[in-house]
């Protein structure tokens, strides 16, 4: 009824709610027009509210959201300040740390492509994982975490969560429903899943994990950095989806940023409050560049993933290679599950060499001209790293594991580069026994 409505500075609350910065938090991403579009179109169209920020009296507007640099937000009146403080996770701008139109646009776009209610940006992918977990546990609670979790998130659970008396059990990523159910405790409040796992590319049955977790009243947090745009964890019931936007979304190896999408209002409130409490939102330039990267993610992902699969198949034919770990390969033991859950493929995979001396592997890696030695995968430039497979039975004839992130170069050039690297590998030494 009209008399129950909130009026702030003479503005009806319904009108305030129509502003995109407030609407997406209070009512979720309600842009049905964009929601009904296909994913590539969503990436290009999501969160365009340029008219709201930059329209001049002639109706002219810049196309992209401006980069707003702010700590301070100013208020016309104490009433508007009070409104902003009344429910910080939902009432839009208040102070730099609570976000501005640049971060809100990125958050809205991410929530749209993940199919979430709303989203929160953080200062790194690591902060996204860790804040998402902290949002749902307190002292005495228990978390089930995939054994193949992004290693710094594992370290966080071993150092920080332990310090606050949160118990963590690590489960094998390809665990069966029966075994998984056995690990659930009365105090299990959150399950962390990452599929495929960072270095070994083992998949988890997310639908099974969600069912088991929800029966026990635990939330499921899924790190979707590898599969963002080709895998939709919310559709399988995951409550929270995180993404290291430093990788594929940023796409140019020039920013550090994380994103958290929440499936509903209550879940969004918890993660938003945790990110605010921890004080870890990103800066506006990184938000802008992440949104700019997100716009081209669809086409980059398709192109780079196709090259990656082609190179993975070629590697399978090499005598120097013991096996290739890429879930889109028919040889991957969980390829069927992969085809069930993923609508495309990604840019990062691993392969294991036969047994060569470490020095030979180092010579090979250092000889490459088109693969830089480095970690933050998902960019335009191909990368290589020497990785370790946790809890993996190597077997006597197997050697070291290399991880490739395939960029936008021509795959033929990349294969020629690797071919020369293999020649160096083989010439360097005899096969170690």
Ligand X SMILES: *Cc1c(COP(=O)(O)O)cnc(C)c1O
Q: What would the x/- binding string for ligand X be over residues 320 to 359, using CB under 6 A?
A: ----------------------------------------
Which one, 234 or 247, has the nearer CB to ligand X? 247
Which one, 122 or 276, has the nearer CB to ligand X? 122
Q: Nearest 5°: CA angle at 7, between 58 and 66?
A: 35
Segment 62-81, which members bind ligand X (CB under 6 A)? none
Question: Look-up: residue for tokens 């969503």?
Answer: 42
The answer to whether residue 244 forms part of the interface with ligand X (CB under 6 A) is yes
Reading across the β-sheet that carries 167-171, which strands appear in turn? 118-122, 258-262, 240-244, 219-223, 188-194, 142-146, 167-171
Q: Are 407 and 382 in contact (CB under 8 A)?
A: yes
How many Cα atoms are found within 13 Å in the side-chain-facing hemisphere of 146? 29
The answer to whether residue 247 forms part of the interface with ligand X (CB under 6 A) is yes
Q: Are 381 and 407 in contact (CB under 8 A)?
A: yes
Which one, 34 or 348, has the nearer CB to ligand X? 348
The answer to whether residue 189 forms part of the interface with ligand X (CB under 6 A) is no
Q: From CA 153, how far away is CA 410, in angstroms rounded?
A: 34
Q: Which two tokens stand for residue 62?
A: 């810049």
What does each C-alpha distance from 53 to 64, 70, 121 come to in angstroms? 10, 15, 20
Q: From CA 413, how far away is CA 420, in angstroms rounded?
A: 11
- Candidates 24-32, 70-78, 119-127, 279-287 — which segment interacts with ligand X by CB under 6 A? 119-127
Other CB atoms within 10 Å distance of the CB of residue 386? 14
The answer to whether residue 270 forms part of the interface with ligand X (CB under 6 A) is no
Which residue of 118, 124, 188, 195 would you call a contact of ligand X, by CB under 6 A? 124
The answer to whether residue 289 forms part of the interface with ligand X (CB under 6 A) is no
Residue with CB nearest ligand X? 125
Min dist CB 256 to ligand X, Å, is 5
Buried b (16+ CB within 10 A) or exposed e, 252-272: ebebbbbbbbbbeeebbbbbb
Which one, 8 or 406, has the nearer CB to ligand X? 406
Which one, 124 or 382, has the nearer CB to ligand X? 124
Segment 148-167, which members bind ligand X (CB under 6 A)? 150
The answer to whether residue 223 forms part of the interface with ligand X (CB under 6 A) is yes
Which residue of 246, 253, 289, 401 would you call a contact of ligand X, by CB under 6 A? 246
Count interface residues toward ligand X (CB under 6 A): 15
The answer to whether residue 286 forms part of the interface with ligand X (CB under 6 A) is no
Could you list the residues that contact ligand X (CB under 6 A)?
Answer: 124-126, 129, 150, 194, 198, 223, 225, 244, 246-247, 256, 258, 376
């Amino acid at each position: 009824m009209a008399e129950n409505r909130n009026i702030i500075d003479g503005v009806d609350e319904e009108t305030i709610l129509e502003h995109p910065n407030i609407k997406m938090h209070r009512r979720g991403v309600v842009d049905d027009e964009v929601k009904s579009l296909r994913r590539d179109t969503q990436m290009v169209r999501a969160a365009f509210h340029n008219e709201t920020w930059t329209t001049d009296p002639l109706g002219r507007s810049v196309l992209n959201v401006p980069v707003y640099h702010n700590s301070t937000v100013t208020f016309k009146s104490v009433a508007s300040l009070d409104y902003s403080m009344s429910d910080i996770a939902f009432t839009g701008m208040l102070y730099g740390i609570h976000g501005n139109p640049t971060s809100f646009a990125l958050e809205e776009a991410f929530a749209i492509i993940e199919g979430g209610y709303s989203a929160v940006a953080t200062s790194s992918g690591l902060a996204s994982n860790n804040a998402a977990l902290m949002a749902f546990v307190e002292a005495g609670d228990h978390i089930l975490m995939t054994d193949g979790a992004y290693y710094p998130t594992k370290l966080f659970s071993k150092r920080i969560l332990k310090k606050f008396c949160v118990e963590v059990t690590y489960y094998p990523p390809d665990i069966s429903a029966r075994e998984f159910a056995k690990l659930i405790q009365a105090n299990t409040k959150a399950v962390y899943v990452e599929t495929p796992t960072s270095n070994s590319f083992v998949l988890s049955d997310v639908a099974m994990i969600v069912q088991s977790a929800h029966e026990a009243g635990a939330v499921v947090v899924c790190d979707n950095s590898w599969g963002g745009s080709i895998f939709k964890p919310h559709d399988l019931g995951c409550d929270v989806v995180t993404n290291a936007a430093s990788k594929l979304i940023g796409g140019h190896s020039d920013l550090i940023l994380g994103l958290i999408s929440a499936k509903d209002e209550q879940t969004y409130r918890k993660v938003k409050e945790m990110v605010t409490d921890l004080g870890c939102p990103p800066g506006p330039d990184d938000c802008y560049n992440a949104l700019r990267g997100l716009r081209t993610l669809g086409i980059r992902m398709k192109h780079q993933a196709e090259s990656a699969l082609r190179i993975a198949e070629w590697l399978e034919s090499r005598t120097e290679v013991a096996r290739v770990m890429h879930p889109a390969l028919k040889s991957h033991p969980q390829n069927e599950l992969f085809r069930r859950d993923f609508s495309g493929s990604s840019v990062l995979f691993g392969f294991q060499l036969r047994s060569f001396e470490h020095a030979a592997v180092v010579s090979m890696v250092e000889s490459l001209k088109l693969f830089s030695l480095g970690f933050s995968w998902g960019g335009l430039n191909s990368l290589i790293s020497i990785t370790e497979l946790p809890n993996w039975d190597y077997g006597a004839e197997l050697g070291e594991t290399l991880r490739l992130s395939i960029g936008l170069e021509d795959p033929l050039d990349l294969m020629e580069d690797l071919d020369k690297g293999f020649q160096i590998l083989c010439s360097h030494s005899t096969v170690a026994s």
